[in-house]
Amino acid sequence: MKKHIVLLPGDGIGKEVINSAKDVLSAIAEEYNLTFSFETHEIGGAAIDLYGTPLPDTTLEACKQADAVLLGAVGGPKWDQNPSHLRPERGLLGIRKALDLYANLRPIKGFKNLLHSSPLKEEVVSGSDLLIVRELTGGLYFGTPSERRENGQIVVDTLYYSRKEIERIVDKAFQAARQRRGHLTSVDKANVLESSKLWREIVEEKKAQYPDVVVEHVLVDAAAMKLITNPSQFDVIVTENMFGDILSDEASVLTGSLGMLPSASLREDGVGLYEPVHGSAPDIAGKGVANPVAMILSAALMLRYSFQLDQEAKVIEDAVEAVLDSGFHTADLQVAGGRRVGTFEMTKLIVDYI
C-alpha cells in the first residue's frame, strides 16, 4: 500500500510533535511493508510570516491532492494582535471548510497509569474509553440567518440540518461503533428541538442496517452529567455540532492532559485531517518537553479511518499504552514513581516498542 501524506507542522509545539508522528509512521511502514511519502507545508503563523497568509494556495492544493493530512497546531502570541484575516486560526478553519470535513471524531480514554492525572476520582475515570462523533459542518454554527436585528437588541441563530447531513454523520457513527464495542448513544434535545426530532427518527431508521449495534438516545443535558459521573457507560456518542463541541471539551478532563487527546476530521470519501486537540502551547514551545502522544495517536486514527489499517493503528495505540504503563511520562502527566522524559525520548520509546 502506498499513501501520500501532507504534514502541516504549524506553530509552537506543532513543529516538535509532528516529527514524532512521522517517526512513528515510518516505523509502522517498515514493520508492515507499507509506503508512506511525506510532503511538508506551512499553515498558521508560520505561513503568515513566510507568505503573508495563514493558508497559502500551495498548502491548500497539496492537501487536496493528499490521501490524508496531519496537522500540528497553529497560533501564538506573536500573531494575537493581527487583524482577523491574518490570524493563524483562519488557516485551520479554511482548510476544514475547503476539504468538507463533516465528521469530527475524538476518542477519549482513561489510561490505567494516568488515572490520577484527571481531576475526577480514579474510580469514576477508570475503565472509560469512548469516542465522540461530532457533526462539524452544519447545525447551529453554520445555519442562516445568524444576525442581529433592531439595533442589535434582537438576535437570531439558526439550527439547520438536512436529512442528508444527518444521515452521513449517523452512518459514520454506526460504522465506528461496529469497529469498537457495538454501542451507540445518540445525544439530542428531542424534547424541545425539531432538528433533534428528525435526528432521532433517522437514528431509529438506520438501526435496521446495523443490527449488531445497540442504540440508545440520551438528552444532551443528561449526557453532560453522565459523562463525568459514569463515563464508562459510553462507547460511541454521536451528536450535533454545538452539543459535540461542548461535550468533547467536557470529556477531555477524563484523561487529565490535553497532551493525550487526538482527533480526526473526515470527508465523505475518507480523506481526513488528523490533529491533536491541544494548541501550540507557547509556554513550553521549543523546550523539547511537549507530550507527543496526542499527535502520535492522531496518526493512528489516520491509519484506521483514512487507510483502513485498523491493526496497524492498534499497534501504535498499544505501544503508547505499554510505554505509559511502564511509568514513562512527559511533564504534563502525573505518574507516581515513574520516569519523566522529553518529547524525543517519549517518541523513541514508542518507536522502539513498535
For the annotated binding site for Mg(2+), the residues are: 221, 245, 249
> Binding to ligand NAI (CB under 6 A): which residues in 245-264?
258-259
Q: Which stretch binds ligand NAI (CB under 6 A): 26-34, 175-183, 286-294, 316-324?
A: 286-294
Q: Under the criterion CB under 6 A, does residue 342 sit at the interface with ligand NAI?
A: no
Quote the CA–CA distance of 67 and 69 in Å, as a whole number.
7
Q: Do you find a cis peptide bond into 56, omega within 30 degrees of 0?
A: no
Question: Residue 41, by phi and psi: left (phi above 0), alpha (psi -120 to 50) or beta?
Answer: beta
- Please, what's the largest Cα pairwise distance for the chain? 64
Q: Under the criterion CB under 6 A, does residue 294 sit at the interface with ligand NAI?
A: yes
Residues that are catalytic:
141, 189, 221, 245, 249
Q: Per-residue x/- marks for ligand NAI, 71-90, CB under 6 A?
A: --xxxx------------x-
Cβ neighbours around 140 below 10 Å, total: 18
Residue 290 interacts with which of ligand NAI, Mg ion, none, CB < 5 to 8 Å by class? ligand NAI
Residue located via cell numbers 469512548:
130
Q: Under the criterion CB under 6 A, does residue 291 sit at the interface with ligand NAI?
A: yes
Residue 245 interacts with which of ligand NAI, Mg ion, none, CB < 5 to 8 Å by class? Mg ion
The nearest distance, CB 253 to ligand NAI, in angstroms, is 13
Quote the CA–CA distance of 101 and 79 in Å, as a whole number.
26
Could you say which DSSP state residue 49 is in? H
The nearest distance, CB 246 to Mg ion, in angstroms, is 8
Q: Under the criterion CB under 6 A, does residue 332 sit at the interface with ligand NAI?
A: yes
Count of CA atoms in the C-beta half-sphere (13 A) of 88: 27
Binding residue for ligand NAI, selected from 24, 25, 66, 92, defined by CB under 6 A: 92
Binding residue for Mg ion, selected from 11, 188, 245, 332, defined by CB under 5 A: 245
Q: What phi and psi, each to the nearest 5 degrees, are found at residue 270? A: 100, -15
The full DSSP string for 152-221 is TTEEEEEEE--HHHHHHHHHHHHHHHHHTTSEEEEEE-TTT-HHHHHHHHHHHHHGGG-TTSEEEEEEHH
Residue 281 interacts with which of Mg ion, ligand NAI, none, CB < 5 to 8 Å by class? ligand NAI
Judged by the rule CB under 5 A, the positions of this chain that interact with Mg ion are 245
- The residues binding ligand NAI (CB under 6 A) are 13, 73-76, 89, 92, 258-259, 275, 278-284, 290-291, 294, 330, 332
